[in-house]
Chains A and B, each alone.
Chain A
Amino acid sequence: MSVNKEMADLIPMLVTGKLSEAESKIVHEQIQLSPELQKELELWQGIYLVRKELPRFDSAGHLPPELLDRFAQGKVNQLSAEYGEITRHLQGCPACSEDVESLRQVVRLIPEEHVKLPRERTEWSRSIFGLRVPTVRALAPVFSFLVVVMALYVIFQRTGEQGDIATVMLKPQFEKRAVTDSTQVPEMQVFLKQNTNKVIFAFATDRLEVPEYEYVVNLTPKAGLPIIVSSAAVECQPTQITNQCELSVTDSNILKQLKQGGSFSLSIKEQFPGNVELEPVQYEYYFRVSVK
């Protein structure tokens, strides 16, 4: 380390009077000999001059403006621990609440702009399955009709079977609280083979996947007791609109129960950590299993 660097480090301490008499003398002598150090001294003296103003800019105890800005624009995941912390702070801090309101007004009047997708995606989107986009657009109604027909076929008629794996597309029917009489609920048809060793129940949810959140999953035969399915078996992938989740069942006891056939209900209830104040949603799916 050069002498100048060592001296430069001591100048802020010199300005605040934290150096001993001997140290101050040495630093002053070096400053006299170096225009560079003289400039440093002027800079630090200038900053020291505004020291009484410094506490005005102390935002300790308040949320940073960047975080408030994201919150004001609804860009903080509502299921995240961060969101919970922010709302708790705002409940006890009128100043930050005021700031959030100001920011909301500003972004409402001057919304943020977005950039075009990166070049690679743009090129891909110009050609979908080798077809130019205008052609794809023209054929979109046909494609949409075919997709809907296939989806209905899969959901209501067959399971997708890949060897010994059965994939069941669960159609969102009801949320638990909306069901008053489960005996009157129409059932989906699910077909399994005897040699099926894995069943994947695929469902969509409008909740975002957060690692801290879990699902409580129960599979209940119509005339039986609930069977608890491990929530670790639920995996979700975010898509543009909703989360596509898959519940994989490989437990031989549960599969054995399913292969006995009959009516089942599958309930998937969200479970949040204690500090999250959100109403958990519970989804209920009713289906009838036939075994070949």
Chain B
Amino acid sequence: MLGLFSGTSKATPESEVKLAQLYVSGEKATYKQVDRWINQVTNLSVWHFVDDIEDINSVVHLKLFSSLKGQRFRGDSTFRTYVQRITRYTCIDQVRSQRVSREIEPDDIPMPAESERPDLLHEEKEERRIFIKIFRAIGPECQRIWRMIFSDSMNYKEIGVKLGMPEGTVKRKVHECKQLAIELKEKLT
């Protein structure tokens, strides 16, 4: 196994795909190695101004998981390069989201009752963080559709018209995104 991580062993498509499979199966050593690869990128001083950089690690893992489940990695590059590519993209996403400042309407934030327990508040906060991570990891197509449903309050027909696809296709995509979100949530909880 260590040979798979060793810099002296030559990478082949087969060996890299095998490494990816070990990661998806949850093998601990592989998971730790992937974490190290992610940190190599996120620890660079280039991102020193980025908030919540530690959150990026978990988002990258989620993106990696959903990408590998969709069998999008075929060993064309080393697994390390694949991981670090996704990390770079995620860092850029985070940089971009920081640039956009969104004023949150106070009325829209559910304010806790005075008697509400701190542990419940903490739980709700954690739940919100989990859903933000899911949203970031889900992929641009799902993000776009969810944004149309939840921010723009569009129904399936309206979304279909905007995206140029039948209503049935929109429903199917929403279903697929939901299934992925469920898997990602299970990974996080």
Task: Please determine whether A46 and B131 come into contact, CB atoms closer than 8 angstroms.
Answer: yes
- B70-99 interface bits toward A, Cβ cutoff 8 Å, 1 = contact, 0 = none: 000001111011001100110111011101
Q: How many residues of B contact A (CB 8 A)?
A: 58
Beyond A102-B92, A103-B92, A115-B77, is A52–B46 a contact (Cβ under 8 Å)?
no
15 contacts between A and B (CB under 8 A): A9-B175, A16-B149, A43-B178, A54-B150, A55-B151, A62-B96, A65-B92, A66-B89, A102-B95, A110-B44, A112-B78, A112-B84, A112-B85, A113-B80, A115-B12
Whether B147 lies near A8 (C-beta < 8 A) is: no
The listed residue (B84, B128, B155) touching A50 by CB distance below 8 A is: B128
Q: Least Cβ distance of B71 to chain A in Å?
A: 17
Contact in complex: A69, B88 (CB < 8 Å): yes
Q: Determine if A99 is an interface residue (Cβ-Cβ < 8 Å).
A: yes
- Tell me which of A16, A50, A105 contacts B131 (CB under 8 A): A50
A105 contact set on B, CB distance < 8 A? 44, 46
B residues near A51, Cβ cutoff 8 Å? 150-151
Residues of B within 8 A of A114 (CB): 11, 77-78
Contact call B185/A43, Cβ cutoff below 8 A? yes
CA A69 to CA B81, docked complex, whole Å:
12
Q: List, in ascending order, chain B residues with CB within 8 A of A112's CB.
A: 77-78, 81, 84-85
A55–B99 CA distance with the chains assembled, in angstroms? 11
Within 8 A of A (CB), among B17-49: 40-41, 44, 46-47
A103 neighbours in B (Cβ, 8 Å): 88, 92
Chain B residues positioned under 8 Å from A62 (CB to CB): 96
Q: Residue A116 contacts which of B11, B84, B105 (CB distance < 8 angstroms)?
A: B11
Given contacts A106-B46, A110-B40, contact A43 B93 (CB under 8 A): no
Contact of A49 (CB < 8 Å), options: B40, B102, B127, B181? B127
Interface positions, chain B 135-175, Cβ under 8 Å from A, are 135-136, 140, 143, 146-147, 149-151, 153, 155-156, 171, 174-175
Residue numbers in A under 8 Å from B91 (CB-CB): 102, 106
In angstroms, Cα B104 to Cα A56, docked, is 11
Residues of chain A within 8 A (CB-CB) of B128 are: 46, 49-50
- The interface of chain B, by Cβ under 8 A from chain A, is 10-13, 16, 40-41, 44, 46-47, 75-78, 80-81, 84-85, 88-89, 91-93, 95-97, 99-100, 102, 104-105, 108-109, 127-128, 130-132, 134-136, 140, 143, 146-147, 149-151, 153, 155-156, 171, 174-175, 178, 181-182, 185
Check B150 against A47 for contact (C-beta < 8 Å): yes
* Contact B13 A118, beta carbon cutoff 8 Å: yes
> How many Cβ-Cβ contacts under 8 Å join chain A to chain B?
141
Residue-wise, chain A 114-133 has the 8 Å CB interface mask toward B (1 for contact) of 11101100000000000000
CB distance from A134 to the nearest CB of B (A): 18
Task: Fill in one digit per residue for A82-115: 1 if any B CB lies within 8 Å of its CB, else 0.
Answer: 0000000000000100010011011101101111
The answer to whether A145 has its CB under 8 Å from any CB of chain B is no
Considering residues B105, B108, B131, B156, which has the most beta carbons from chain A within 10 angstroms of its beta carbon? B131
Query: Considering residues B89, B97, B128, B150, which has the most beta carbons from chain A within 10 angstroms of its beta carbon?
Result: B150
Inter-chain contact A16/B150, CB cutoff 8 Å: yes
Q: Which residues of chain A in 35-75 are interfacial with respect to chain B, using CB atoms and an 8 Å cutoff?
A: 40, 43-44, 46-59, 62, 64-66, 68-69
